[in-house]
Amino acid sequence: MKMGVPGKTVSVGIIGLGCRGFDQTKLLASMPDVSIRVVCDQYADRVEKTLEMLNEVSGGKAPAQGCTNAREVMERSDIEAVIIMTGWETHIDLAVQAMRAGKTPAMEVGGASSVEECFRLIAASRETGKDCMLLENCCYNEEEMTLLHMIREGVFGEVVHCQGGYEHDLRDEIGNGDINRHYRQRHFKNRNGELYPTHELGPIARYLDINYGNRMVSLVSMASKAAGLHEWLAENRADDPRLVQAHINEGDVVTTMIKCARGETILLTHDCTLPRPYSRGGRIQGTKAIWMEDNRSIHVAGKTPQKEEDWSHSWEPDRKYMEEYRTDLWKEYLDFGKRGGHGGMDYLVLRAFIEALQNGTHLPIDVYDAAAWMSVTALSEQSIALGSMPVAVPDFTDGQWLDRKDEAEGPYKLGR
């Protein structure tokens, strides 16, 4: 591969121009082989601001037009892809519309509102022959890719248990007064579940070959009381009675246990309304090693040096392994120079999509991955609503997971 050498031009439309949409649009605009033809948001001021940015970036040569109705994007004949960066609850519906309009959609991350919605996504893909990518940037983060590489190289032995979380103090953001435009706030007020699983579940799904020889079979979720956001709002938004008096439904800490067909367990934590440093709470345990994100350490049986002061087995910093097992993609990326947000992974996940379109290859995170990962949100809400009953995770592949091979190609390929 030749990172940074433009491929054939891909023409795209973009829907959703909030904070995330604006930033990713700017990043796409920096790619010489991406032509942004149309940008869309229900709020006209966002469209205007984005068009201004695009004109600035292109020196006035941007071909992009603006609109406030997604239907206009779908009807364009000059785009092959639609990138969806709206609020969580419209991702699947817009992706279905895009496929039916003959485009290949890519969706920003978020959870599903129902399991049926996930099946609808797959049905649209099968009927139209179009695939759909979930833009799970964390799958392309350096650590997660290195860990996947280490697992494939056998460092962990047989992997038995994985943990991850979206552990991010968002009280300040959720307590923002702009209710209409705030995609997360109304979810926290009204829902109770694992609202945002894919940042950790996406990489874990690859560690465990989910959809490629393995699948999630059942899950159980439990929510703590919701105390953190209310207390914070009373102290920090005292001037806004709508917020101070708001009922918050989402438990501060929502824990989800998932059982896989091959017997592995996955533990997910959603933790966004209590004070805390950010963490994706990663942990990988196999018969030969354990890795943990919160202390950035690893213990490899028989290899990690035993410290004299430890009466138990010792940890060692994971840095040596992170360097030894760095992927070819990340080696080249570091030479090329990281760009875009979130430590560089935002750029890679967009390139993964664009280059698959350029090469006509299978999307590296496809419609089955999207359905399985996103369904965890709806299923966790069901489990909590039923008093932490176990609920079955559907097989979205109709049994194909048993011996499904990942048809993606090249350095962005993640599956087996």
Question: Interface with a copy of itself by CB under 8 A: which residues?
Answer: 157-158, 160-161, 168-169, 218, 220, 222-225, 227-228, 231-232, 251-253, 255, 257, 259, 262-265, 267, 271, 274-278, 285-290, 292, 294-295, 299-301, 310-315, 387-390
Which residue, 87 or 390, is less far from a copy of itself as judged by CB?
390
- The 8 Å CB, 24+ separation contacts for 84-87 are 84/15, 84/16, 84/108, 85/14, 85/15, 85/16, 85/17, 85/18, 85/20, 85/21, 85/24, 85/25, 86/15, 86/16, 86/18, 86/21, 86/41, 86/183, 87/16, 87/18, 87/183
CB of 365 to a copy of itself, least distance (A): 25
CB of 414 to a copy of itself, least distance (A): 23
CB of 392 to a copy of itself, least distance (A): 10
**What is the separation, in whole angstroms, between the first and last Cα of the chain?**
20
Strands 159-167 and 104-107: unpaired
The backbone torsions φ and ψ at residue 136, rounded to the nearest 5 degrees and listed phi first, read -80, 95
CB of 291 to a copy of itself, least distance (A): 10
Which residue, 110 or 286, is less far from a copy of itself as judged by CB?
286
Task: Specify the length of the chain in residues.
Answer: 416
Please give the structure tokens belonging to residue 117: 């919605």
Which residue, 237 or 299, is less far from a copy of itself as judged by CB?
299
Which residue, 211 or 285, is less far from a copy of itself as judged by CB?
285
Token pair 């008096």 is found at 245
CB of 153 to a copy of itself, least distance (A): 17
Which residue, 7 or 343, is less far from a copy of itself as judged by CB?
343
CB of 81 to a copy of itself, least distance (A): 31
Which residue, 90 or 285, is less far from a copy of itself as judged by CB?
285
CB of 135 to a copy of itself, least distance (A): 21
Which residue, 288 or 326, is less far from a copy of itself as judged by CB?
288
CB of 117 to a copy of itself, least distance (A): 25
- Under 8 Å between Cβ of 85 and 15: yes
CB of 300 to a copy of itself, least distance (A): 8
Which residue, 310 or 335, is less far from a copy of itself as judged by CB?
310
Which residue, 27 or 160, is less far from a copy of itself as judged by CB?
160
CA 202 from centre of chain: 6
Q: What whole-number distance in Å separates Cα of residue 229 and Cα of residue 243?
A: 10
Which residue, 51 or 257, is less far from a copy of itself as judged by CB?
257
CB of 329 to a copy of itself, least distance (A): 24
